[in-house]
């Protein structure tokens, strides 16, 4: 939830541009954001650990920043100009989930950075489960449950991890080692900027799922 508070500041900064976008269809912004997110996923999946890989990582950072800004703009435009619709809400949330999963899986299949192939799939699965628990709370009449490790938290974690990975290349820094016991149990032998994203999102997904599940359970039992 920490980075969700920054949304108010972002809204104020982008509002002048939003005010001039009365003729823009929010759904178009949503679909364009997918293109930039897909480009980001490709760059993350194919970035090596050489200088070219570092520039691919920085390119991925730019693509992700543009995708995130477009994702923020579509909702702002819809609210400001009276274009809010159930279709728009459905489309926005669907694209959010696809991008969330795509980013984690793209990182997870990059064997130059990730030694344990299960890590990306596990992080994606737990992220999806955390999001599901929030929407399921809404489905049973409890309202949207936003507790836990939010999408904004994941985005900031991803930005930071990509920067760290690029810095490792530019400054010739190696990965951090892990204790042998953990390596034997998980197959994770070292931690770098990209693998840290997966580990944090995996743990964040578990925390989010449990936090939202406990809250929903308490609310439902209180209504009985």
Task: pLDDT tens for the chain, 224 residues: list them.
Answer: 445 556 667 777 888 889 999 999 999 999 999 999 999 999 999 999 999 999 999 999 999 999 999 999 999 999 999 999 999 999 999 999 999 999 999 999 999 999 888 999 999 999 999 999 988 888 888 877 788 999 999 999 999 999 999 999 999 999 999 999 989 989 899 999 999 999 999 999 999 999 999 999 999 999 88
Is the CB of residue 75 less than 8 Å from the CB of residue 26? Answer: yes
pLDDT of residue 2: 45
Q: Which residues contact 173 (CB under 8 A, 6 or more apart)?
A: 167
Report the predicted TM-score, pTM, of the whole model to 2 decimal places.
Answer: 0.92
Pick the CATH number of 2-216 from 3.90.660.10, 1.20.120.1760, 3.40.50.300, 3.10.129.10: 1.20.120.1760
Report the chain's terminal Cα–Cα distance, integer Å: 29
Torsion angle in degrees (nearest 10) through CA of 127, 130, 131, 137: 170
């Amino acid at each position: 939830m920490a980075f969700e508070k920054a949304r108010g500041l972002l809204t104020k900064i982008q509002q002048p541009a939003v005010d001039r976008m009365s003729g823009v269809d929010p759904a178009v912004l949503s679909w364009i954001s997918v293109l930039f997110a897909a480009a980001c996923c490709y760059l993350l999946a194919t970035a090596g650990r050489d200088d070219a890989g570092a520039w691919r990582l920085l390119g991925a950072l730019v693509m992700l920043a543009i995708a995130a800004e477009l994702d923020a703009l579509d909702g702002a435009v819809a609210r400001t100009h009276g274009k809010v619709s159930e279709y728009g809400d459905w489309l926005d949330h669907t694209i959010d989930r696809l991008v969330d999963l795509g980013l984690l899986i793209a990182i997870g299949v990059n064997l130059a950075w990730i030694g344990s192939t299960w890590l990306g799939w596990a992080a994606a699965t737990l992220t999806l489960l955390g999001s599901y628990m929030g929407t399921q709370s809404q489905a049973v009449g409890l309202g949207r449950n936003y507790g836990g490790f939010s999408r904004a938290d994941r985005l900031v974690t991803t930005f930071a991890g990509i920067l760290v990975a690029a810095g490792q290349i530019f400054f010739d820094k190696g990965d951090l080692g892990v204790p042998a016991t953990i390596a034997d149990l998980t197959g994770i032998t070292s931690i770098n900027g990209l693998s840290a994203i997966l580990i944090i999102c995996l743990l964040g997904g578990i925390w989010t799922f449990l936090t939202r599940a406990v809250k929903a359970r308490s609310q439902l039992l209180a209504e009985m």
